[in-house]
Amino acid sequence: MPFRSPFADVVYPDESGVPCALQYRIAITDTPDRLAVIHLRHTDQTFTSPADSAIARDHTLNRIAESALHGIPVKALRLVVEDLRGAAEYAIEADIDDYIRRGNPYESSHVKAAGSRVRESISIRSESIVAGRTRVQTVHAIPIPTSAEVAHALA
């Protein structure tokens, strides 16, 4: 049986900084490669839905990741946003600029580019990218139907 926390309230700003609210919970899958699922449930249409705003979605995601999932590898996190239209899963990626700015480990090398130009190549081990040590984002994510393992953890 997967773990599911009770729903809790969270207040977040929309694009113009107006306060909004929703409920969230965290679930853990019962698969061999366990995943931590952040489930955002938006039910009040007077507030901006995280499904409609990457700013609201990412702000809320980062607050939860920092406070409740600190130290969990980002590759083991999943995000599900549910509103009156249904539920969708969003891919989570690390903000690499923030990761480097915070002094996290990475390797860099200079690679010769066209002409006399040089470009820097950066290599980061995925295990090094953990919640709470860098911002995460979903701004480039396209919502997809919730996967079977994630849906099972939330059911």
Contact 27, 153 (CB under 8 A): yes
Domain ranges of the chain: 3-96+130-154
Q: What is the pTM of this model?
A: 0.91
What span, in angstroms and rounded, lies between the C-alpha atoms of 28 and 1?
A: 9
Rounded Cα–Cα distance for residues 49 and 40 (Å): 10
- State the pLDDT at residue 114: 84
* pLDDT, position 1: 59
Tens of each residue's pLDDT in the chain, 155 residues? 579 999 999 999 999 999 999 999 999 999 999 999 999 999 999 999 999 999 999 999 999 999 999 999 999 999 999 999 999 999 999 999 999 999 999 999 988 888 888 888 999 999 999 999 999 999 999 999 999 999 999 99
Q: Which amino acid is at 104?
A: N
Burial class (CB in 10 A: 0-12, 13-18, 19+), 20: buried
d(CA 78, CA 21): 20
